[in-house]
Amino acid sequence: MQFSTYFVTALAAVAYAAPSQLSMRENKDVAKQQDDAAKQQQQDAAKQQQQDAAKQQEDAAKQQQEDAAKQEAAKQFDLGQLNNGQFNNLDLAYLNVVNKVDIQGLAALAVQQNLNLAAFANIFNAQALDLNAILQLQQLVQIQQLQQLGLLGGIDLAALQLNALNLGAIGNIGGVNLQQFINAGVKNQVQAVVSGANVIVISQ
């Protein structure tokens, strides 16, 4: 009778302790899984950082090569066709700066892909700000954007029609001096932007 009671008591103790031991084991398993997951996240993050750094270095090296090739090609272009890159009009120089026109990159297109850049000489030679010059500058900006997107690669640009917008019977408005519509109060601001970009303006 005593043995039976002891046996039952022991079984009850084991039965009571078993869930507790199982819970401890489960907690340990969960903790290990969390620890492993945290370590994996750290490893993944470190790997991603290495890949990003390698990609940045690769992109930087590629950009340097492209810039060097562009500079070399631009040296072969006669900037005398574009008034040596100097402007006769302050406002056109200002528009050139704020629209980030890359003359060097465009000169490279002229040498490498036969872009008729001389057709845009009026932008640099114009004494006044008029619609014709603005439309030409817009064309340059669009060509540059296409170049930056890589959409001009391998294309012979000699066949590119660069005629300005045909104004037809109202063509006389193309030569109207638009400076009369510019607030004189912004001249100093315009001058500061142009000077800050080291753009040369022959007459102001």
Q: Among residues 74, 94, 120, which one ends one of the domains?
A: 74
Give me the numbers of helices (H) and strands (E) for the chain, helices first please. 6, 0
Q: Which two tokens stand for residue 128?
A: 């006044």
Could you tell me if 142 and 187 lie in one domain? yes
Could you tell me if 133 and 160 lie in one domain? yes
Could you tell me if 39 and 84 lie in one domain? no
Tell me: pLDDT of 8 over 50. no
Could you tell me if 19 and 56 lie in one domain? yes
Q: How many domains does the chain have?
A: 2
Could you tell me if 160 and 182 lie in one domain? yes
Residue 9's pLDDT band (boundaries 50, 70, 90)?
low
Could you tell me if 55 and 106 lie in one domain? no
Which of 46-60, 101-115, 131-145 has the weakest average pLDDT? 46-60
Distance, in Å, from the CA atom of 39 to the CA atom of 33, rounded to the nearest integer, reads 10
Domain range spanning residue 134? 79-196
Q: Is residue 24 part of a domain?
A: yes
Could you tell me if 122 and 192 lie in one domain? yes
54-66 pLDDT tens trace: 888 888 887 777 7
Contact 104, 71 (CB under 8 A): yes
Residue 139's pLDDT band (boundaries 50, 70, 90)?
very high
Tell me: pLDDT of 51 over 50. yes
pLDDT at 159: 83
Q: pTM for this one?
A: 0.66
Q: Is residue 103 part of a domain?
A: yes
CB atoms within 10 A of CB 92: 26
Tell me: pLDDT of 2 over 60. no
Q: Which two tokens stand for residue 57?
A: 């270095």
Q: What is the mean pLDDT of the chain?
A: 84
